[in-house]
Chains A and B, each alone.
Chain A
Amino acid sequence: MTLGDLLAAAPLIVLAGGACLVLAADLVVRLPARGAAWLGAAVAAVAAVLAARLGPGTAGFGGALERDGGALFFVALVAVGAAGALLVAGDYLAREDLPPAEFVALVLFSATGAGLMAAGGDLLVVFLGLELLSLPLYALTGLLARARHADEAALKYFLLGAAASAVFLYGVALVYAATGTTRLDVLARGATPPDPLAFAGFALLLCGVAFKAALVPFHAWAPDVYEAAPPPATAFMALAAKTGAFAALLRIQAATSGGAVAAADWRAALAAVAALTLVVGNLAALGQRRVRRLLGWSSVAHAGYLAAAAAAGADIAAPFIAFYLVVYGTLSLASFGLLTLLPDDDPTIDDLGGLFRRSPLIAVGFVVVLVGLTGLPPTAGFLGKLYVFEALAQARLLWLLIIGVLASVVSAAYYLRVALACFAPSTAEATPMAGGRRLAGATVALATLLSLALGLAPLALLDLVRQVRY
C-alpha cells in the first residue's frame, strides 16, 4: 500500500477506524449516550475535514478508489450528515435507553459504506460499499423495538435489500462477461459495445442502485423503514443511502455513457424511472396520516427529483445533484430531528394540533422545513428544485420538467397540511417531555437555519458543488 493509496482511503479509514474505536472504548468504559454521540460526531467531523483538505489527487489502489472532486465531496457530505444525525441522536439514545456505542458504530460503518460507493472506481468496490452501507442500516431499522412493526420493517428491508444486492452483483458479473473488466475507468476508455449482455448488466446495476435510492418500483421498503427506524437513524439514512446511490450512479453513468446509444439508453431508463417515482411517491404521500410514513413517501418523491436530474446526463447534472443532496440532507436532518424533540416521536398529523401553543419554536421549525421540502422560496429547497429543472431544460426533457413541477404542487398539498396542522387547536393533553433535548434542539435549529441561509446565499455551496464532475 503506497502513500497515494493511503491518502485516497484516509477519510474512509478514519470513519471505519472511529467506529471500531467507539466499540472498543465501550468495552473499557461504558460510554454514556451523549458521550458516545459526541465521540462519533467528532470522528465524522475529522473525516469530513480530511476529505475537504485532502483535495483531488491520483486514485488509490490502482484506480479502484478514486480521489476526485466527486468522491471527496460526497464522502465529506455523508460524514457531515453522520455527525449531524449523531448529535441529534445523543439525547434520543439517552431517553430511549438504546445501546449508544452500537448505534454510533453502525452509523459510522454505514457512512464508510456510502463513502466507498461514492469513491469506488471499480464495480466490485462499489458493491462492497453498497453492502457496507446497507447492513448497518438493516440493524438500525430494527433497533427501536417499541416502534410499530419494527421487526417487520427491518426484515422486509433486509430481504429486499439482499435481493437488490444480488441483482447488483449479477449486473457486475454480466458487465464483466461482456467487457472483460469491472474497472470503471477502463470501461470509460473502451467505447461500450452495443452488446445486449452489457446492456442487461447496466440495467441490473441501475436496479440495484435504484433500490438504495428508493426509486419506484424498488421503493416498497421505504415507507415501512422510515416509520419504524429511530428518527435520528432515519435522518442519517435518508441522506447516506441517497448520496451513496446517486454518487455511484453518476460515476457508473458517466463511465458508460460513451457513445450516443449508451447515453440515450441511460437517459430513457432514468427518465422513465424518475417520472414513475415522482408520480407514485407524491400521490402515495397524499393519503398518509402518520408523519413519519408521510416523510418516507416524501423521500421516495425526492429520489424522483434526483433521478430526473440524473436523466439529464451525468455531465450536466452532477453539481445539481450534489446541491440537491446537501439541501435534502439538511432538511431531513431537521425534520426527523424535530420529531425527536416531540414527546411522541411517531405522531399522526392530527396529533400535531396545538403544537404552536405548546412549543412555538418547534412549530415554526416544522413550517420552515416543510416549506423547504415543498420547494417554496426563500428556502434552499426552492433552489434545489430550480437547478434540477434547469438541468432538465438543458437536456430538453420538457415533459419530465412539467411532471416535476406538477408533482411539486401535489407535494404542497401534503406538506402544507402537516405544517398547518401545527396551528390547529390541541387535540390531546400536553405530555411533558422527559429528559434533556438541548443538544438535539441546537443541532436541529442549526440545520433549519442552514436550509434558509442556503436559499438566500447559495454562492459558497455552488462553488463547492462545481468540483463534482465526472
Chain B
Amino acid sequence: MSSFQMVLVPLLAAAALCALPAGRFARAVAVAAGLLESVLVVAQAVARGPGGIPTERFEWAGPLAHYAVGADGFGLVLLALTGILFAAGAAASRRVAHPRGYFALWCLAQAAVSGVFVAQDLVLFFVFWEAMLIPVALLMWLWGGADARGATLRFLLYTMAGSALLLAGIVSLVVVRGTSELSALALRPLPEADQTLVALVFVAAFAVKLPLFPFHAWLPRAYVAAPPPVAAVLSGIVAKTAAYGVIHLCLPLFPAGMARLAPGLVALAAVGTLYGALLATRQHDTRRLIAFSSLSHLNLIGLGVFTATAAASQGALVASVSHGLVVVALFLLATLLAQRVGGWSLADAGGVAASAPVLSAFTTLAVVAAIGVPGTSGFAGEFLILAAAYARFPGAAVVAALVVVVAAVYGLRLIRHAFHGPARAQIRDLGGADRLILAPLLALILLVGVVPTLVSDRVAGPPATPASAGAPR
C-alpha cells in the first residue's frame, strides 16, 4: 500500500480533525499532513529510483473498476508538490472561521488530489477526479469572498460538464476493452480511426480543469472569490491534475488520436499563453493579475503537454513544479500585502519597499521566477517547453515565446506599482512565521532553477511514447 499512503495520510488527518475537541491545533494537523506526505514521497522516490512505485491492485467494484494504485516519476514529483503546497497553504490560512471544518475539507481536497496522482485504473482516476470538486467547492462557497456563490457555481458547472464527458469516454472505452486498468489498456490501444473522438472527449475534461484557452471563463472569478490559500492550491496543484491527466492517460492510450489533435490544441495553448499574459498587463487587482498570469503559465504547460515529445513532457513537469511553487508564493505574498495596505488594488499600495524590505524582496523574487528570468525555476520550464515545441510546431512556439516580453511587462508593473515610487503607506514587514512559510518555497524555486535535473530526471526515458507507458510499472 506504499502509494495509497499518500491518500491515507490526509484522509486520516481529516478524520482526526473531526475528532478534535477544539479548533486550536487544526492548522498544525493540516500542515503536518502535507509535510508528512511530501516526506513520504521523497523517501519512496529515493528508495525506489526512477521507476516509481509499482502498481498494486485490489478488488473494488466488479471487473471494470479496481483499486489499482502506483506512481511513476511524473506522479511522484507532483505528489511531493501536493504535500508541500497544501502544507504551505494550510500554514498561511490563519484566523479562519470554523478552523476544524476548514482544515478537514482542506485535508480531503489534499487526499483527492493525491488520489488522482496514484490512480492506475481509469474508473478510480475518475473517482478521485470528481472527489476533488466537493471539498474545493465547499471551501470556496463557505469561506470565500463577496462573489463566492456565483463563482463556485460557475466553477462547479464548468468542471462537471467537462468531467461528464470524461465519464462517458471512460465508460465506453472500458466497456469496449473489457478492462479499466491503465497498464492493460495501454497494451491494447484502440484502432487508430477511433482514437480521435475518444481522445477529444478526454481532453475536453482536462481542458476545462487546466484551463486551456478558451475554456477559462471560470478562472478569474474563482481565483478572486476563493480564499487566497484555496485559490493558491487550486492554481498551484489542482490545475496540474489536468496536465498530468493528459500525459498519464491521453498520450499512452490514444497516441494516434492525440497526434491528430495536437496542432489544434497546441495552437490554442499558444494563443492562451499570450492572451493570459496580455490580460495580466491590464489588471489592477493583484488577484486578477495573478489569475491571468496563471492562465498564461498553465497554457504554456499545456503547450508542453500537447507537444507530446519526451523533452516537452520534461519541460511541462519542471514548469508545473515551478508554477506551483511560484503561484502559491505569489498568492500568499499578495494576501500579506493586501492585509497591510488594506485592499487588493495596485493603487492601494505604492512605495512600500522602504518600510517592508523583506516583503518586497520576496515578492520580487517570486515575480522574477514567474516571468522566467534565468536562474529561477520559471526559466528552466519555459525554456524546455519552448525549445521542444519549436522542434515540432515552430509557429505556435514563436507565438508563445512572445510571452517572455509580455510577462516582463506585467511582472515589472506589479513590482513598480506596489513597492516602488513615492511611499503611500508605512507598513509592517513580514513576521517570522510568514518568513518561515515563504522562505522554503522561494528556496525551492531557486533550487529547481539552478538544478532543474532534480525534477526533470524523475521522468525516466521518454514518457510520452506508448511503448514505455505500457511497460509494467
A complexed with B: yes
- Please report A residues at the B interface, Cβ cutoff 8 Å: 371, 376-378, 382-383, 386-387, 389-390, 392-394, 398, 401-402, 405-406, 408-409, 412-413, 416-417, 420, 423, 457-459, 462
Is the pair B164, A405 in contact by a Cβ cutoff of 8 Å?
A: yes
CA distance A423 to B167 in the complex (A): 29
Contacts of B134 in A (CB 8 A): 371, 376
Contacts of B192 in A (CB 8 A): none
Is the pair A401, B164 in contact by a Cβ cutoff of 8 Å?
A: no
Instruction: Kindly identify which residue among A378, A390, A392, A423 contacts B127, using a CB–CB cutoff of 8 Å.
Output: A378
CA distance A412 to B152 in the complex (A): 13
Distance to closest chain B CB from A237 (angstroms): 29
CA distance A398 to B169 in the complex (A): 10
Is the pair B127, A389 in contact by a Cβ cutoff of 8 Å?
A: no
A378-B127, A423-B142 known; A405-B165 Cβ under 8 A: yes
Is the pair A423, B130 in contact by a Cβ cutoff of 8 Å?
A: no
- 4 new A-B contacts, CB < 8 A, other than A382-B130, A458-B62, A459-B59, are A378-B131, A393-B174, A393-B176, A420-B138
A393-B175, A401-B168 known; A383-B61 Cβ under 8 A: yes
CA distance A383 to B167 in the complex (A): 12
Is the pair B133, A376 in contact by a Cβ cutoff of 8 Å?
A: yes
CA distance A417 to B150 in the complex (A): 11
Instruction: Kindly identify which residue among B60, B141, B160, B175 contacts A420, using a CB–CB cutoff of 8 Å.
Output: B141
Is the pair A459, B142 in contact by a Cβ cutoff of 8 Å?
A: no
Is the pair A413, B168 in contact by a Cβ cutoff of 8 Å?
A: no
Is the pair B156, A412 in contact by a Cβ cutoff of 8 Å?
A: yes
Which B-chain residue is minimally distant from A459 (CB atoms)?
B59
Interface of chain A, main secondary structure: helix
Distance to closest chain B CB from A323 (angstroms): 10
CA distance A456 to B130 in the complex (A): 15
- Please report B residues at the A interface, Cβ cutoff 8 Å: 59-62, 64-65, 123, 126-128, 130-131, 133-134, 137-138, 141-142, 149, 152-153, 156-157, 160-161, 164-165, 167-168, 171-172, 174-176
Contacts of A417 in B (CB 8 A): 153
CA distance A443 to B182 in the complex (A): 40
Which A-chain residue is minimally distant from B176 (CB atoms)?
A393
CA distance A192 to B355 in the complex (A): 90
Instruction: Kindly identify which residue among B156, B157, B160, B171 contacts A390, using a CB–CB cutoff of 8 Å.
Output: B171
Is the pair B164, A408 in contact by a Cβ cutoff of 8 Å?
A: yes
Most-contacted residue by chain B among A386, A408, A458 (CB, 10 A): A386
A393-B175, A416-B156 known; A459-B127 Cβ under 8 A: no
25 example contacts (A-B, Cβ-Cβ < 8 A) are as follows A377-B127, A377-B131, A378-B127, A378-B131, A386-B123, A386-B167, A390-B171, A390-B174, A393-B176, A394-B175, A398-B168, A401-B168, A401-B171, A402-B168, A405-B164, A405-B165, A406-B161, A409-B164, A413-B153, A417-B153, A420-B138, A420-B141, A420-B149, A423-B142, A462-B62
A393-B176, A408-B164, A409-B161 known; A377-B126 Cβ under 8 A: yes
Contacts of A402 in B (CB 8 A): 165, 168
CA distance A416 to B156 in the complex (A): 10
Is the pair A389, B61 in contact by a Cβ cutoff of 8 Å?
A: no
Contacts of B130 in A (CB 8 A): 376-377, 382
Is the pair A462, B133 in contact by a Cβ cutoff of 8 Å?
A: no
Which A-chain residue is minimally distant from B61 (CB atoms)?
A458
Is the pair B168, A405 in contact by a Cβ cutoff of 8 Å?
A: yes
A408-B164, A409-B157, A409-B160 known; A462-B61 Cβ under 8 A: yes
Contacts of B61 in A (CB 8 A): 383, 386, 458-459, 462
Distance to closest chain B CB from A75 (angstroms): 24
Distance to closest chain A CB from B222 (angstroms): 15
Instruction: Kindly identify which residue among B157, B161, B171 contacts A386, using a CB–CB cutoff of 8 Å.
Output: B171
Is the pair B60, A390 in contact by a Cβ cutoff of 8 Å?
A: no
Distance to closest chain B CB from A425 (angstroms): 11
Contacts of B161 in A (CB 8 A): 406, 409
Is the pair B64, A423 in contact by a Cβ cutoff of 8 Å?
A: no
Contacts of B137 in A (CB 8 A): 416
Which A-chain residue is minimally distant from B175 (CB atoms)?
A393
Distance to closest chain B CB from A456 (angstroms): 8
Instruction: Kindly identify which residue among A394, A413, A459 contacts B157, using a CB–CB cutoff of 8 Å.
Output: A413
CA distance A428 to B242 in the complex (A): 42
Which A-chain residue is minimally distant from B141 (CB atoms)?
A420
Give the top 5 A-B pairs by smallest Cβ distance, nearest first.
A393-B175, A377-B127, A405-B164, A389-B171, A393-B172
Instruction: Kindly identify which residue among B138, B141, B156, B164 contacts A406, using a CB–CB cutoff of 8 Å.
Output: B164
CA distance A377 to B112 in the complex (A): 11
Distance to closest chain B CB from A359 (angstroms): 15
Contacts of A462 in B (CB 8 A): 61-62
Contacts of B152 in A (CB 8 A): 420
Which A-chain residue is minimally distant from B165 (CB atoms)?
A405
Most-contacted residue by chain A among B138, B149, B164, B171 (CB, 10 A): B171
Distance to closest chain A CB from B134 (angstroms): 6
CA distance A315 to B142 in the complex (A): 46
Distance to closest chain A CB from B118 (angstroms): 15
CA distance A413 to B157 in the complex (A): 7
Distance to closest chain B CB from A128 (angstroms): 36
Which B-chain residue is minimally distant from A391 (CB atoms)?
B175
Which A-chain residue is minimally distant from B172 (CB atoms)?
A393
Contacts of B172 in A (CB 8 A): 393, 398, 401
A386-B65, A386-B171, A459-B61 known; A412-B131 Cβ under 8 A: no
Contacts of A413 in B (CB 8 A): 153, 156-157
Contacts of B157 in A (CB 8 A): 409, 412-413
